Amino acid sequence: AAPKGQPTSLRPLHFLKESFSALSSEKKARKARFYRNGDKYFKGLVYAISSDRFRSFDALLAELTRSLSDNVNLPQGVRTIYTIDGSKKLSSLDELLEGESYVCASNEPYRKVDYTKNVNPNWCVNIRTGSTRSLTSLTSTKSEVKESKDFIKPKLVTVIRSGVKPRKAVRILLNKKTAHSFEQVLTDITEAIKLDSGVVKRLCTLDGKQVTCLQDFFGDDDVFIACGPEKYRYAQDDFVLDHSECRVMKSSYSRSSGMRYSGSKSPGPSRRSKSPASGTTSRMINGTPSSQLSTPKSTKSSSSSPTSPGSFRGLKVSVNGNKCSGSSTILEKYKVGKVIGDGNFAVVKECIERSTGKEFALKIIDKAKCCGKEHLIENEVSILRRVKHPNIIMLIEEMDTPTELYLVMELVKGGDLFDAITSSTKYTERDGSAMVYNLASALKYLHGLNIVHRDIKPENLLVCEYADGTKSLKLGDFGLATVVEGPLYTVCGTPTYVAPEIIAETGYGLKVDIWAAGVITYILLCGFPPFRSENNLQEDLFDQILVGKLEFPSPYWDNITDSAKELISLMLHVNTEARYTAAQILSHPWVSDDTSQENNMQAEVTGKLKQHFNNTLPKQNNTSAGVSVIMFDLTV
């Protein structure tokens, strides 16, 4: 085992060579369409059902309730699922078949309606296309064809209420997990925007173009005006954003889910799109089907934007003495390889420095796509320029052109924190201690610079493998990071790891990172999070976090040392004054001394990780060169 005095060294974790293809095939999603009981006008909602997304039948019922239930339709929620002909009630996920349709009800009996009259889902192999169809049917089929294509990319859209100003605006995270159909997205927007008149009937871009299908959300527009049934003509000034709305929109983009959602990574694809506390995506957040986002209470956490709109003048700075301009210089210095990540603003490619043969990650940011969001990139890059630590992924150099910004980043190939555990042959409490040492070292450095990361989680902790067989963790993805100059109020992060003071919106600072690190430490030793909702409800999870009651249930914690439990309790203290600092973590006996045990707990921890977190299997090489903008709304 490597000595504790080396902050970048983990105990060797030997990776298994066995295949997980069998497990992957078990989790293959089945598409099914769900209708409302007795609603002959509702065209149905398509869901991809898998064990990753829904761990239980109750989790599916809860998700369908969020999507299909309102004050008029299924007001008591979805309690029963019938087959399309009403002949059978379903009681388990195993009864759901690929390509079939089902009817959702509360406690009332099945109502016989021709639910498929105006719908012909092209993905259903058991339904033939008729020779004559109504215009509605043709439109629906065309929409379904589009939905099966690859135009859906992770994207944040802003929806503004029509009507008297100031108007409410919410942000919705759209990706393949949250945008199943045009009707479903409208339902999510209705729930988020809460029009006085009820249902959102129409959406228009700021140019006045009506949104008619799912693909329209993924064009050049990212701001939409929502209108209810009371008004079928938009007023002229509905499409004009006043000064306060422009300012709020700009500030709300400041470093804020992961519903990432937990979430939505840009440019890198989200690797875990579900939080264990939610049955939907997330990176949230990932918490509700649409990862609802709203403007922050304060803009104190935002950094100064570039000197003028659309300008990247603030980015023309060298790093480590390296400064270039012009894309030709890139090709001269680096051999650019395959794409390893893409998103709204940028793509990430592998590249090799021609003079040394060293591998790096090259992030290419398209400035045209960043118009109005320049401060997002500026803030992250300005922080990356400042930081240099063995446990933080490094920005090597940047190259600026009139149309693109090139960032050469350190390339980390070892997978993330969960990969290191699930693919190892031996994993002990001592290994977990070394991982916490690496994370605390990075946090001590950042907090010394008054920088808060705000998105500490396993996906952002990558494993760096060295030639001598040792490994270390490197912290990446500074998309939510900001300099702390006073209390922050922007609600952002990933639900499982979010601190209580963020949820309470009482103002927060550096110690939200310590809370997240405490959650990770807990997971490292048992495989499941300390705060979780048995019913996959985000509200339940947040209630537990606010109370902060910490338990170490038997038998999972029986063989874990009291020293480890003590440290976790001090990291997960609801009172921020009593919560540990990064420096205190490093000096705690469980981290600094040899109080941790060497018992192999790989099988137990891996089993729980696979149960509570999806996509925890080894994946392809990944970098953390992405820009994340993930927020979630606790007030909607």
Residues marked as catalytic:
455
Task: Mark the binding-site residues for ATP, compressed into ranges.
Answer: 363
Helix (H, G, I), strand (E, B) or coil at 108: coil
Kindly write down the DSSP assignment for every residue of 118-185, as one continuous string: T---TT-TT-PPPS---HHHHHHHHHHHHHTSTT---EEEEEEE-SSSS--EEEEEESTTT-S-HHHH
- What are 609's strand-pairing partners? none
Q: At 41, which amino acid appears?
A: Y
Kindly write down the DSSP assignment for every residue of 25-59, as one continuous string: HHT--EEEEEEETT-TT---EEEEE-TTT-SSHHH
- What are 407's strand-pairing partners? 363, 398
Q: At 265, which amino acid appears?
A: K
Measuring CA to CA, which residue among 97, 57, 98, 100 is closest to residue 80? 57
Measuring CA to CA, which residue among 228, 287, 246, 227 is closest to residue 263? 287
Q: Which helix (H) or strand (E) holds 22?
A: helix 21-26
CA distance 584 to 422: 29
Taken in order 296, 302, 304, 306, is the CA torsion positive or negative? negative
Q: Which helix (H) or strand (E) holds 386?
A: helix 374-386
- What are 472's strand-pairing partners? 464
- b or e along 270-299 (b: 16 or more beta carbons within 10 Å of the residue's beta carbon)? bbbbbbbbbbbbbbbbbbbbbbbbbbbebb
User: Count of residues for the chain?
Assistant: 636
Kindly write down the DSSP assignment for every residue of 301-368, as one continuous string: TPPPPPSSTT--GGG---BTTBEEESHHHHHHHEEEEEEEEE-SSEEEEEEEETTT--EEEEEEEEGG
DSSP 8-state class, residue 218: G
